[in-house]
Every structure is written in C-alpha cells, then in structure tokens.
Amino acid sequence: MDNGIWIDKTDIPLVHMSSIISGFNPLWNSDKDENEAFNEAVEFSGAILRNTLNQRFSVLKSKEQVVRAFKKRKNPQLLVLDRYCPYSEALREADEKREVLFVIYPRKDSYAMQSVRGENSQDKKKLPKEWAGLRDEELASVTGVSDAVFCHTGRFIAVAQSLEGIMKLAELAVNYKEDEESKPKGIFELIKNMFKKTK
C-alpha cells in the first residue's frame, strides 16, 4: 500500500510480505544453512498463499447460498442465512435496489443480526441507540424479547438465543425511527444551527 510513508524511516518498522520473507535469511552471526532457511521461507510463503486462495474460494462458494437466501426473503430488508458465510460481496451483486439492511445468521449456540454496510462503508442502518451496550435482562427489558443476549455498543450487531428472538429484534430494528436531533449533520447544517443559537 502506497501511503506516502517510507517503511524504513519509521521509529517502529512496519512489517510487509517482503520483509517477512527476507527475515528468513540467516543472520550475519548465524551458522544456519542457507538452503534450510530458504526451505523454511518457501514453506511459510506456501501456507500464506494457500490460505489466501482458500479464503477466496470460500467467498466464491458462498455466493450460491447468499443468492438463494436473497430470493427467499419474506422481508426485503432482512437476509436470513441458514449458516454463516461471507456474504458482503454476493449481497452487493444481488441486491441491486440496495434493500437489505440486516443479515441474520446462526452461531454456535445463538443467532446474530448484523448491519449491512453501504457504498460509503458505513452501516446502512444502526440498531436502536437504546440497545447499545445492553446485555441479557437489560436488553430483554428494553426490547421485549425475552432471550435477547446483547447489543454491541457500536450498534452494528445484536444476538439472541433463538431464531424467533433474533427475528423479533430484526423487525424492531427495521421499524426503528431514530430521533432526527440525534442524527449526525453535515458541516453546513451545524454552522447554520450555531448562528441560530447566537441570535
């Protein structure tokens, strides 16, 4: 990545692939065999390459599952997956109208819902601010969902113990109307409001 910073001129050297591989070279005061060091570097590089390819294949294989779930939607704003898989890329391609706001998927012993990010890499819709950071009984009391588990303080993910519970949370989140006063405003709107207060 070219960010204008010289890697070798920082106080703490930044690590990149080239420096990692060159780090396998025997040190000047080492008796290590160069061929042995080279073989270690090859093995290490091979593992990274395999992982990279496997991750990419995983994304490609997930597209069929995401598209199938997309076509089965009962609520256009909710995508319900039978199992978790990388969904972002496939969803961007399938959701031409940009309708989906939340993705729901099972976890090991619970169910989660997560906000979908838009073109600007920001959440298209946040979870209700009243949920932020709440867990268990507190979250259940606020939402009315008895098996609610937690909502992240960033308001992008929430968990419930059952599919029924997470679907209730999702419906509440879809219908949630955030107070206009609490929404972030553009710089011009902020300046205009400042002038109003000084009058």
* d(C-alpha 96, C-alpha 21), whole Å: 42
Instruction: Write down the pTM of the prediction.
Output: 0.70
Judged on CB neighbours under 10 Å (0-12, 13-18, 19+), 137 is exposed
| pLDDT tens digit at each of 199 positions of the chain | 455 555 555 566 677 788 888 889 999 898 899 999 999 999 999 999 999 898 888 878 889 999 999 999 999 999 999 999 999 999 999 999 999 999 999 999 999 999 999 888 899 999 999 999 999 999 999 999 999 999 999 999 999 999 999 999 999 999 998 774 455 555 555 565 555 555 5
